[in-house]
């Protein structure tokens, strides 16, 4: 339960310093890879925000966002959101993002953006099925080589999530339950067959209403057991999604149907 967890905006250096320690716990980063406390302090005073989750005065989660210029509009760029592993699975991350959404709307932002690893099932499920984001951009090796406990081994490819702070949409998966959503195999551009073999299909005319693109069910375990296969998954996924985005599709859904999971791409 999260009844004793307080969600609040952070202003003090001691909170930002505590977030530095929390980053190391969540992502197994080195100190030099973490966001420095004085950067958070400066951003929070100049159009950005740090929102924390505290339990008995201890920081157990936070999200950090700063202003970002896109064309003629300003977004809130949500650079990082993390929850202590001992407190994960209790809805704290969702509460942090919703507090960030309210703050952004009250301060004149129409959109919140962030990046996430598209091969991480948990992130995809949270972003699409809890928050209702869409994706229009794929960034190849966005951060360059990363050596933390989660990202090591693969290029740092990222989806760019777009979250309309005034839109209460929920995806098809969230409304009906992802286990009930079916897509025929002929709409899959990337999938595995009954033997687990990775198959990439050519969309040819790009005329379907929707396509599906599968990802590994557990990329962390796959990297540990067969890094070469994990790399092949990433390269295949990258190629297919880039083609779909260039053809005018957006990623607007994610389906989990154990032991498989996949993204849904549609024309906007």
- One of 3.40.640.10, 3.30.1700.10, 3.10.640.10, 3.40.630.30 is the CATH number of 5-170, namely 3.40.630.30
260: tokens are 């498989």
Closest CA to 264 of 253, 244, 256: 253
Mean pLDDT of 88-98: 96
CA–CA distance, 99 with 63 (Å, rounded to integer): 10
Peptide bond into 6 cis (omega under 30): no
Rounded Cα distance, 225 and 104, in Å: 42
How far apart, in whole angstroms, are the C-alpha atoms of residue 249 and residue 200? 18
pLDDT of the residue at 170: 52
How do residues 211-238 score in pLDDT, each as one tens digit?
999 999 999 999 999 999 999 999 999 9
List the end-to-end C-alpha distance of the chain, in Å, as a whole number.
38
For the chain, the domains span 5-170, 178-266
**CA distances, 235 to each of 151, 156, 266 (Å):** 15, 12, 21
pLDDT digits (tens, 9 = 90+) for 119-178: 999 999 999 999 999 999 999 999 998 876 677 789 999 999 999 998 765 544 444 444
Distance, in Å, from the CA atom of 255 to the CA atom of 215, rounded to the nearest integer, reads 10
Give the model confidence (pLDDT) of 1-55 as tens digits: 445 999 999 999 999 999 999 999 999 888 988 999 999 999 999 999 999 999 9
Structure tokens at 152: 């090591």
For residue 65, which of 26, 31, 107 has the smallest C-alpha distance?
107
Claim: this prediction has a pTM higher than 0.85: yes
């Amino acid at each position: 339960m999260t009844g004793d967890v307080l969600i609040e905006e952070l202003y003090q250096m001691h909170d930002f310093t505590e977030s530095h320690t929390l980053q190391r716990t969540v992502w197994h980063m080195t100190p030099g890879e973490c966001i420095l406390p004085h950067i958070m302090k400066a951003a929070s005073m100049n159009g950005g925000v740090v929102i924390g989750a505290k339990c008995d005065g201890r920081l157990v989660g936070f999200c950090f966002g700063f202003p970002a210029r896109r064309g003629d509009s300003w977004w809130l760029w949500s650079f990082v959101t993390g929850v202590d592993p001992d407190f994960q699975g209790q809805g704290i991350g969702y509460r942090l993002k919703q507090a960030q959404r309210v703050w952004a709307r009250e301060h004149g932002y129409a959109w919140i953006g962030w990046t996430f690893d598209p091969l991480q099932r948990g992130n995809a499920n949270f972003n699409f099925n809890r928050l209702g984001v869409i994706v229009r951009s794929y960034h190849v090796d966005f951060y360059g080589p990363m050596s933390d406990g989660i990202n090591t081994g693969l290029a740092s490819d990222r989806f760019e999530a777009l979250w309309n702070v005034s839109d209460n949409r929920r995806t098809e998966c969230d409304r009906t339950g992802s286990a009930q959503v079916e897509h025929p195999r002929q709409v899959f551009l990337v999938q595995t067959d009954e033997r687990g073999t990775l198959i990439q299909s050519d969309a040819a005319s790009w005329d379907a209403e929707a396509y599906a693109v599968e990802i590994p069910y557990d990329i962390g375990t796959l990297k540990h057991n067969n890094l070469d296969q994990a790399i092949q998954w990433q390269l295949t996924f990258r190629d297919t999604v880039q083609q779909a985005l260039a053809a005018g599709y957006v990623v607007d859904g994610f389906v989990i149907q154990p032991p498989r999971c996949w993204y849904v791409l549609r024309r906007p």
